[in-house]
Amino acid sequence: MKKKGIVSLMLLSLLLSLLTACGNSSSTNASGEQSVIDAGAGEGATELSYWTFVELHGKHFEKMLEKWNAENPDRQIKLNVTVMPYDDMHNKLSIALQTGTGAPDIADIELGKFPDFLKGTPQLEPLNDVIDPYRDTIVKSRIDIYSKDGQNYGIPTHVGASVAFYNTEILEEAGVDYTKIETWDDFKKAGEQVYEKTGKYMGTADTSAAWQESMMLAQQGSDFTDADGNPQVNTPEMVKGLQILKDLQDANVISTIAGGQPDTEEAYGEYNSGNYATAFMPLWMMSRFTNYMPDLAGKIAIAPIPVIEKGMPRSVGGGGTGTVVTKTAKDVQLAKDFLAYAKLSEEANVEIWNTLGFDPVNMKVWDMKEVTHNPENEFVKYFKNNPFDVLNEIRDEIKYVKSVPASPTINNVFCTVTLNEIFEDGRDIKEALDDAQAQIEQELQ
Amino acid sequence: MIKRFLYSQKVAPYVFVLPFILVFLIFWVYPLGSSVTMSFQKITLGQETEWIGLDNYTKLLGDKIFLKSVMNSAVYMLCTLLILIPLPMLLAVLINNKFMWGREFFKSSLFFPALTSVVVAGTVFRLMFGEMDGSLINSFLGWFGIEPVKFLKGQVTGFIALLALATWRWLGVNMLYFLSGLKSIPDDYYEAASIDGASAWQKFRMITMPLLKPTTIYVLTISIYAGLAMFIESLMLWNGNNSPKNIGLTIVGYLYRQGIEKSNLGYAAAVGIVLLVLAMTINMIQLAFSGLFKKED
């Protein structure tokens, strides 16, 4: 008996020391995971550094770098990729750019943070000259969101068309046909049926992301900001959109989710165990399904988002990553040329779909059946229907929400305070929005 | 010449304290000075800094989120004082007791949490206090028929999680301070008290507490500062600096949000100065009350 006690004590101390060991290693991880991609580069290759917050983006660059190095033997590149958590990477990049030392040559900046990097004189290289050759082939608005005063500072990754992801297993159990859902009224009826029959929620009421509000505004031709870029978050359109969502919540059709929105670790778990039937998200959510929700393979169908009234646009571009070249880059021209090649060329756009499962900004790819319907593609395999069938159906309806200097502040106020007040505390929508407007204006002073 | 210099009794002390003075000047006085100047400036990425006088400070006064963060830090500090001084003192007295069973085991196991990194501890606590039915605390509450609680989305419940983390982590450290304080109290006093027929409570009240006063003042001082400067615990517990309705936002969290996340360095510097003034004032008052500045007789 005594021996057992000693053994368990030893085990306990071992466990605790492991825990502290983890603690140490994770604090070093905060400075990022580094890897150098050679991709067949020779001796004279230039080493460029690249920061990102999405590990997969590095994989895409790896593929494109191999092609680049093979095609440009005299301008070969070694890419030093550092992956950091979202907030850390943006904060570090911001400090590095402000102080003028320590910034990488190439970096990913998420759309939500991009306006912060355009404040004052951007410490980024304008990319107009390398974008020009591809300008006609890519969606213009995706370049515009990373621009200031006619200068393009970021190269887009995807369109990010918002779609609905339906868990057909739950819907079938409840006897709901998702293809018949066109308006929010249809969605409500279907949702009530799902809740009644299965006790599960049809969808989420997001509190930590504003995708749903973007969708509602885009359908009504409105925006978070007015034509001059001033915040306008208490408009009748916003009130109406939120009222529809609140009404859905009151009818037990949608409910708040752990993590606050579908694109969080907690929510992946909830979806994977089949507790929610729908996610309204930009198309890049596909890669989250394949990576984090393996149990749902073959069960998820993609469809256009319901609208308030038939005929309204059914999608909005959501999120995005602009890849930039910093002013302190070692070889600015090389970095720019490679970046354009790796993200804008037709091959690159095909790879962006193949590797990342994003809707590429070169819309020609959307029509390449052999690429989009390739039965070997992991995304084609995972989903019940082909994403591009839906994308091509809504391709002319994809609206955009402006990204202006006020956007990060608006987003911050909405995702920390306003949406929580409305969906968690049941606060009056108009009051909450008026407060949000005042708060945003005060912060922007 | 060099030898004389080195062996000189006048110079040597200065040489010895030089490293400290240098560190103090470079890493403390200089940043403090530049923070003060920055707090009167508007600093924008890649642009000339602009002198704006007291604008940052007047803006702070009307900034609801800043006031919220001050409130949060103050409440957190008070709660940690109420928990993390009496409780460790009590535990230290218990562990110091010769009749206590397994003293060494409790001593080390209570201290262990302090060795874990806040990052890991915060993440574990976030999962423990998760809002799903299956999270540790909620499944525990489930045994008693209590509905799952969304801990990290409510002000009070969020603070319960935050204080649980703080208690778990700092209990052992404060206990060690008190233990070392207890060791310096001679046994004679207790013996004498026993002979006079004092009860255990009387001994604690009349001997232990007064003689532990220096330790208590020290723990109080660092706890006030630590409570006001708390940041990483909140950052890890909410997996980022943006807690719902800012329930976990602290003064340092707000400084970080303005300075690092929004690159509004001038404004952030003003936040930092306010924090400094606040912590200094509270600690000075506290130290004055506890009689630290009185000349010894």
Q: Which residue of A has its CA nearest to B256?
A: A91
Q: How many CB pairs lie under 8 A apart between chains A and B?
A: 96
Q: How confident is the model at residue A365 (pLDDT cuts 50, 70, 90)?
A: very high
C-alpha to C-alpha distance for A439 and A307, rounded to whole angstroms: 30
Question: Which of A327, A368, A346, A309 lies closest to A64 in space, CA to CA?
Answer: A346
The radius of gyration of chain B's CA atoms, rounded to the nearest angstrom, is 24
Q: Which helix (H) or strand (E) holds B32?
A: helix B30-38
The answer to whether the CB atoms of A442 and B131 lie below 8 A apart is no
Cβ <8 Å between A120 and B132: no
Task: Look at residue A268 and give its three-state secondary structure.
Answer: helix
A82 close to A49: Cβ distance less than 8 angstroms: yes
User: Which two structure tokens, joined as six digits, stand for A279?
Assistant: 């996610």
Is some CB atom of chain B closer than 8 A to the CB atom of A266?
yes
Question: Do β-strands A203-204 and A33-37 pair in parallel, antiparallel, or remain unpaired?
Answer: unpaired
Name the residue of chain A whose CA is nearest to B109's CA.
Answer: A13
Angle at which helices A265-272 and A285-292 cross, to 10°:
70
B-contacting residues of A 6-35, CB under 8 Å? 9, 16, 19-20, 22-24, 26-27, 30
Across the interface, whether the CB atoms of A20 and B46 are under 8 A apart is answered: no
User: How many angstroms separate the CA atoms of A166 and A171, rounded?
Assistant: 8
Please answer yes or no on whether A27 and B119 come within 8 Å at the CB atom: yes
Q: How confident is the model at residue A11 (pLDDT cuts 50, 70, 90)?
A: very low
Please check the confidence at residue A16 and state whether its pLDDT lies above 60: no
Element (H, E) at A82: strand A77-83
Residue A42 CB contacts under 8 Å (≥ 6 apart), including other chains: A73, A76
State how beta strands A398-399 and A315-316 pair.
parallel
- Strand ranges in chain B using DSSP code E only, listed in sequence order: 41-42, 50-51
Helix (H, G, I), strand (E, B) or coil at A108: strand
Q: How many angstroms separate the Cα of B85 from the Cα of each of B80, B168, B177?
A: 8, 13, 10
Say how far apart CA A405 and CA A247 lie, in whole Å: 32
Residue B160 has pLDDT above 90, yes or no: yes
Separation between Cα atoms, residue B226 and residue B81, nearest integer Å: 10
Residue A257 has pLDDT above 90, yes or no: yes
* A253 CB burial (10 A radius; 0-12, 13-18, 19+): buried
Q: Nearest residue of A to residue B108 by CA position?
A: A13
DSSP string, A148-202: ETTEE--B-----BEEEEEEHHHHHHHT--GGG--BHHHHHHHHHHHHHHHS-BS
DSSP A324-379: EEBTT-SSHHHHHHHHHHHHHSHHHHHHIIIII----SBTHHHH-HHHHT-TT-HH
Contact B293, B287 (CB under 8 A): yes
Question: What domains can be seen in chain A, in order of their start residue?
Answer: 33-159+319-367 (3.40.190.10), 162-316+385-444 (3.40.190.10)
Flag whether pLDDT at A432 surpasses 70.
yes
Put simply, the answer to whether B132 touches A270 (Cβ < 8 Å) is yes
Chain A residues within 8 A of B120 when measuring between CB atoms: 19, 22-23, 26
Contact A51, A108 (CB under 8 A): yes
Q: Compute the distance between CA of residue A139 and CA of residue A156 in angstroms, rounded to an integer.
A: 9
pLDDT tens digits, one per residue of A106-146: 999 999 889 989 887 888 999 999 999 999 888 888 898 89
For residue A231, report the phi and psi dihedrals to the nearest 5 degrees: -65, 140
- Cβ(A439)–Cβ(A417) below 8 Å: yes
A110 Cα to chain B: minimum distance (Å): 13
The answer, yes or no, to whether residue A12 has pLDDT greater than 70, is no
Using CA atoms, how far residue A249 sits from A81, A242, A419, B85, in Å, is 43, 10, 13, 45
Q: What are the φ/ψ torsions at residue A328 (nearest 5 degrees)?
A: -90, 10
CATH of domain B55-289: 1.10.3720.10
pLDDT digits (tens, 9 = 90+) for B73-87: 999 999 999 999 999
**Mutation site, B65, B105, B128, B152, interface A, largest A CB count within 10 A:** B65
A395 pLDDT higher than 70: yes
* Shortest Cα–Cα distance, B290 to chain A (Å): 38
Residue of A nearest to B260 (CA): A91
Indicate the angle between helix axes A236-250 and A211-219, nearest 10 degrees: 120
B117–chain A nearest CA distance, Å: 5
Integer Cα distance of A91 and A87 in angstroms: 6
Decide if pLDDT at A24 tops 50.
no
Write out the two tokens for A371: 């690429």
Structure tokens at A316: 């909005």
| Residue A17 confidence (pLDDT) | 43
Which residue in A156, A159, A70, A63 sits closest to A354, CA to CA? Answer: A63
Is residue A317 within 8 A of residue A399, CB to CB? The reply is yes
| Chain A residues near residue B121 by CB distance under 8 angstroms | 23
Q: What is the pLDDT of residue B274?
A: 93
What pLDDT was estimated at residue B295? 64
A123 touches B at CB < 8 Å: yes
Tell me what the pLDDT averaged over chain B comes to. Answer: 89
Residue B265: per-residue pLDDT? 86
Q: Does A177 touch chain B (CB under 8 A)?
A: no
Calculate how close chain A gets to B115, using CA atoms only, in Å.
Answer: 6
Residue to substitute from B57, B119, B235, interface A, most A β-carbons within 10 A? B119
Average pLDDT over residues A15-26: 39
Nearest chain B Cα distance for residue A44, angstroms: 34
Mean pLDDT of A340-345: 94
Q: Decide if A416 and B242 are in contact by the 8 Å CB cutoff.
A: yes
Listed by start position, the domains of chain B span 1-38, 55-289
- Chain B residues whose beta carbon lies within 8 Å of the beta carbon of residue A99: none
Q: Taking CB atoms and an 8 Å cutoff, what residues of chain A touch B131?
A: 258, 266
Q: What is the percent of chain A with per-residue pLDDT over 90, rounded to a whole number?
A: 70
The pLDDT tens digits for A177-200 are 999 999 999 999 999 999 999 999
DSSP string spanning A194-263?
Answer: HHHHHS-BSEE--SS--HHHHHHHHHTT--SB-TTS-B--SSHHHHHHHHHHHHHHHTTSEE--TTSSSS
* Binary contact (B262, A408; C-beta < 8 A): yes
Give CA–CA dist A325/A106, Å, rounded: 5
Residue A264 and residue A248: Cα distance in Å, rounded? 22
Of A19, A119, A266, the CB nearest to B130: A266
Mean pLDDT within B149-178: 93
* Predicted confidence (pLDDT) at residue A397 exceeds the cutoff of 70: yes
- The ipTM (two decimal places) reads 0.78
Find chain A residues with C-beta within 8 A of B115's C-beta: 16, 20, 23
B119, A116: Cβ pair inside 8 Å? no
Q: Which residues are A276's β-sheet partners?
A: A201
> In percent, how much of chain A has pLDDT > 70?
93
Backbone angles phi, psi at A203, to 5 degrees: -150, -170
Average pLDDT, chain A: 88
Interface residue of A22, A27, A86, A87 to substitute, partner B, most B CBs within 10 Å: A87
B22-25: Cβ within 8 A, 24+ apart:
none
